[in-house]
Structure 1
Amino acid sequence: MDHTEREAKMKSRDLRWSEIFSDALQLILESLSLPDFHRARTVCSTWYSVSKSCLHRYPWLIRFPKKLTVTTDSRNLFDPVAYKWYETRSLGDDELSESRCLASYGNWLLMLNPRIDFSVLNVFSGERIDLPELSLRGEVSLRRKDDGDFLLEHSSVDRETIIERYVKRAVLWIDERTRDFVVSWIYNDRYLFSYKKGDDCWWHFHGTECLDMAYKDSKLFVYTSDHFIEILDFDSPSPNEITGDENPYWNRPFQFVPQLGEYFWKTRVAIDDSGDVLIVVSLKAFPVNKEERLFYVFKMNLEGDEWERLDSLGGDKVLVFGDGVIVAASDGGGKIKRDSIYFVADDVYPLRSPSMLQSCGTFDLATAKLSWSRCPYFLSNIRWFVPGSDRK
């Protein structure tokens, strides 16, 4: 090998970023801002693996500007620890304003546009995965147009209204490394649809009327309209329902009778680290001379067959109400409220005298105190999400 060939080979090796020593790479990753850190995680499998040792987990806000809002500010990500807004370089305001965000998982968002097309977007890299059009497998009572496309109920209403009013809940799970993913969504509290990477069309689960759901370890936990927990197993070519003794919640409905002056607003399903189902209720209560917004958390006592109210999520955990996500939060310099529920204004019963600036907040389970945060972008929709959370 002559000098020129040796020099070319050395230069080639110099460009193999995946061969940087892990200690040096960790120092590089830790020096980056969080948006750049999450972009760097996607460079290669080595960088992704090393990044897990320095991953910070806590809720961020993402802003979805309204279509008619005139602004030149493209800062759409808010880090509550650094108290700083960042620009989503790969996602412009048009991308975020024309579609509705239905769910999040780590760095990924499940989006639905006015044409009723679904896509999965990476907040930091801008990577996009388009899901197939809404053609369905399984018995379904949706009407079919002359051209073969399915029509949702209320099709006389414009599609934007359908999306805002009738597509209420969805879940997303995605493997950051392999890009395997699962998407499920509920239409009008009646129809449950799902799509898994590799499917040739959407699945519809006939007879499953549901209010909420959560996904973990290849299983979809569905909270039905009659207050039971159904479990669908996705670890097979087609989703299968788990029944009988294999479903610990079988024939054990969630039963909670509000006290006098308590009014339900929303219910979410979440899955804790042990795989147990939690049911989280947002409600309004009327103590003496005032009204309060509260969150109650319930867990099934499998020995006593009863849903019991919890006063803690356990240690350093936080729950993002919008997605029903529980994560063990990193310290964040003491700025992250542990054992708390992170919410946005729409997650709680409407205020009598709403303030446009009171757009998000936290609920401390230990003290049952709700604290509002003031967000300057009150003309936009905002949402909590947890960047980089490697949940299963």
Structure 2
Amino acid sequence: MADVRWLDLPMDILRCVLGRLSFVYFHRAKMVCSNWYLCSKQTSPRLSGSPLLIMFLESGDCRLYHPEEARVYKTKRDLPNIKFLANSGNWFLVMDSKSNLYIIDVLSQKKIDLPPLESIKGCQYNLKRVGDKTFKEVGTHRCVIQKARNLRGLLWVDNKKEEFVVVWYFHKNIVRKYMTEYLAFCKNGEDHYHEIPARFALRDVSDMVLLPRGDSIYVLTTSNHIRKLTFDSSGQDGFKNILSPFCLPGPPIELNHHDDECRYNIAVRPSGEILVVMSIFSESSRPWMFLLYKKNRYLFPGNSLYNMLVEVDSLGDEALLLDLGITVPANPDLGIQPNSIYFSRTRHACFSFQKRSCLDLCVFNIATKTLKRFPGFFNLKLKDARWFLPS
């Protein structure tokens, strides 16, 4: 037996080995060789419904934290000089120091290169690369320079069908008003991006969520509109107002202090219901507080309160992954807490003009209004972090 190599283990013994591995190590092991990968397809890994936390260190190293195991894993490959843009399951959309985009599976390290930004084909908007971090608009009447630091992204991946959709856009703060004029997207198998010309719908973007199937986007605006953008590769696209405008109650008096920072995000439930999330934070003493709102289903057009959002007291057996803008079924036995909000605050950094650190890794219990923080990670000198749900 001493002469038997690990790569040549009999299938039944290999299945036994793989079945004993933790969730993270199982995904690593299946990438060892083709034999191990085939065996992993016949082996059931340990269940892990718990969201994981990926942490990007200033050194360029990456770490994975599994809350149920209370364990930190080092990834097989580090990602120095990259900027995180979005994720879907294990897949992360990142941009390197030369403004190249790719998606990578952080569990298996599988990588898919994406078309260059300047490959965008649109009737109104095209780009020309000017160095590694700068792009110039061409084909317009304006001379506009776009900086890579203003690039934002959305991602949707279907692992079973091996399909993905990548969306990117440049997002600017102009006198504390957010401006996004163009969206571009591509799908698996395409060598260029398609323009989504929706300037009017994107003038004052506060937040965006890419819907499952990857063919529509919900947009939350600073002028209290919720819009749905639908697009496909044939050039058929358009938008409609879901709520225009909606009325959102202000923070409760006991939470309304001069040093409070209040932000708004959008989230989508499995039922398709849209939530507006109010995040309230005070630098002085109080921790984060979250309030959830939804459309009043019992009012009809013409009613003076038709567009007034009502507060959501509970998510029931769902949990909100605010970094992703979705709620998911929760199962405490698998490690995901119901009626809770998983939050890293990095998603909001894309839309914030604040220059201070935007990391705050925590889980908020909606029923008890208590916060569980993970402060021990800050000695790792984190550059970015984000909750994700492994697939």
* 2:229 maps to 1:229: no
- How high is the TM-score relative to the length of structure 2? 0.72
Q: 2:342, 2:387 within 8 Å by CA — same for their partners in 1?
A: no
Deviation at 1:370, TM superposition (A): 2.6
Note the 1:44-83 alignment, pairs <5 A: 47=40, 51=44, 55-67=47-59, 76-83=63-70
Letter matched to residue 112 of structure 1: M
Q: Indicate how the Cα distance of structure 1 residues 387 and 367 shifts in structure 2: closer, same or farther if over 3 A, else same.
A: closer
> Aligned with 2:373: secondary structure?
strand
Letter matched to residue 223 of structure 1: V
Q: What is the CA deviation profile of residues 34-59 of structure 1, one whole-angstrom value per residue up to 9, with x for unaligned ones?
A: 212234677668955864x8542222
- In the alignment, the residues of structure 2 paired with residue 46 and residue 275 of structure 1 have an alpha-carbon distance, to the nearest angstrom, of 37
Q: 2:216, 2:230 within 8 Å by CA — same for their partners in 1?
A: yes
Q: Indicate how the Cα distance of structure 1 residues 312 and 238 shifts in structure 2: closer, same or farther if over 3 A, else same.
A: farther
Q: 1:282, 1:348 within 8 Å by CA — same for their partners in 2?
A: no
Q: What is the CA deviation profile of residues 183-224 of structure 1, one whole-angstrom value per residue up to 9, with x for unaligned ones?
A: 123321413222222334212322131332222332423214
- In the alignment, the residues of structure 2 paired with residue 270 and residue 156 of structure 1 have an alpha-carbon distance, to the nearest angstrom, of 32
> Aligned with 1:313: secondary structure?
coil
Letter matched to residue 137 of structure 1: K
* 2:277 maps to 1:280: yes
Letter matched to residue 87 of structure 2: S
Letter matched to residue 267 of structure 2: A
Q: 1:279, 1:298 within 8 Å by CA — same for their partners in 2?
A: yes
Q: Indicate how the Cα distance of structure 1 residues 50 and 212 shifts in structure 2: closer, same or farther if over 3 A, else same.
A: farther
Which stretch shows the higher mean deviation, 304-313 or 114-123? Answer: 304-313
Q: Indicate how the Cα distance of structure 1 residues 241 and 46 shifts in structure 2: closer, same or farther if over 3 A, else same.
A: farther
- In the alignment, the residues of structure 2 paired with residue 360 and residue 321 of structure 1 have an alpha-carbon distance, to the nearest angstrom, of 12
Q: Indicate how the Cα distance of structure 1 residues 344 and 251 shifts in structure 2: closer, same or farther if over 3 A, else same.
A: closer
Q: 1:264, 1:283 within 8 Å by CA — same for their partners in 2?
A: yes
Q: What is the CA deviation profile of residues 292-341 of structure 1, one whole-angstrom value per residue up to 9, with x for unaligned ones?
A: 421222222344244222122221x22222222322244357x6543111
Deviation at 1:30, TM superposition (A): 4.4
- In the alignment, the residues of structure 1 paired with residue 315 and residue 110 of structure 2 have an alpha-carbon distance, to the nearest angstrom, of 33
- In the alignment, the residues of structure 2 paired with residue 82 and residue 234 of structure 1 have an alpha-carbon distance, to the nearest angstrom, of 41
* 2:386 maps to 1:384: yes
Aligned to 2:324: 323
Q: 1:171, 1:323 within 8 Å by CA — same for their partners in 2?
A: no
> Aligned with 1:35: secondary structure?
helix
- In the alignment, the residues of structure 2 paired with residue 307 and residue 50 of structure 1 have an alpha-carbon distance, to the nearest angstrom, of 47
- In the alignment, the residues of structure 2 paired with residue 143 and residue 198 of structure 1 have an alpha-carbon distance, to the nearest angstrom, of 21
Out of 154, 159, 163, the position equivalent to 1:171 is 154
Q: 1:75, 1:85 within 8 Å by CA — same for their partners in 2?
A: no
Aligned to 1:370: 371
Deviation at 1:367, TM superposition (A): 2.0
Letter matched to residue 195 of structure 1: C
- Unaligned segments of structure 2, at least 5 residues: 1-7, 172-178, 300-305
Deviation at 1:271, TM superposition (A): 1.6
* 2:165 maps to 1:182: yes
Q: 1:267, 1:279 within 8 Å by CA — same for their partners in 2?
A: yes
- In the alignment, the residues of structure 2 paired with residue 362 and residue 62 of structure 1 have an alpha-carbon distance, to the nearest angstrom, of 15
* 2:291 maps to 1:300: no
Ranked by relative contact order (alpha carbons within 8 Å, sequence separation 6 or more), the top structure is 1
- In the alignment, the residues of structure 2 paired with residue 87 and residue 16 of structure 1 have an alpha-carbon distance, to the nearest angstrom, of 29
Deviation at 1:29, TM superposition (A): 5.1
Q: Indicate how the Cα distance of structure 1 residues 205 and 276 shifts in structure 2: closer, same or farther if over 3 A, else same.
A: same
Deviation at 1:133, TM superposition (A): 0.6
Aligned to 1:130: 113
Note the 1:102-251 alignment, pairs <5 A: 102-134=85-117, 135-140=119-124, 144=128, 150-151=135-136, 162-163=148-149, 166-167=150-151, 169-188=152-171, 189-190=179-180, 191-206=182-197, 207=199, 208-209=201-202, 210-218=205-213, 219-225=215-221, 226-234=223-231, 237-238=234-235, 240-241=237-238, 243=240, 250-251=242-243
Deviation at 1:274, TM superposition (A): 0.9
Letter matched to residue 172 of structure 1: L
Aligned to 2:74: 87
- In the alignment, the residues of structure 2 paired with residue 343 and residue 204 of structure 1 have an alpha-carbon distance, to the nearest angstrom, of 31
Q: 2:19, 2:43 within 8 Å by CA — same for their partners in 1?
A: no
- In the alignment, the residues of structure 2 paired with residue 342 and residue 38 of structure 1 have an alpha-carbon distance, to the nearest angstrom, of 23
Q: Indicate how the Cα distance of structure 1 residues 222 and 46 shifts in structure 2: closer, same or farther if over 3 A, else same.
A: farther
Q: Indicate how the Cα distance of structure 1 residues 44 and 143 shifts in structure 2: closer, same or farther if over 3 A, else same.
A: closer
- In the alignment, the residues of structure 2 paired with residue 307 and residue 41 of structure 1 have an alpha-carbon distance, to the nearest angstrom, of 47
Q: Indicate how the Cα distance of structure 1 residues 82 and 143 shifts in structure 2: closer, same or farther if over 3 A, else same.
A: closer
- In the alignment, the residues of structure 1 paired with residue 143 and residue 75 of structure 2 have an alpha-carbon distance, to the nearest angstrom, of 35
* Equivalent residues, number: 341
- In the alignment, the residues of structure 2 paired with residue 212 and residue 336 of structure 1 have an alpha-carbon distance, to the nearest angstrom, of 25
Which stretch shows the higher mean deviation, 132-141 or 226-235? Answer: 226-235
Q: 2:23, 2:46 within 8 Å by CA — same for their partners in 1?
A: no
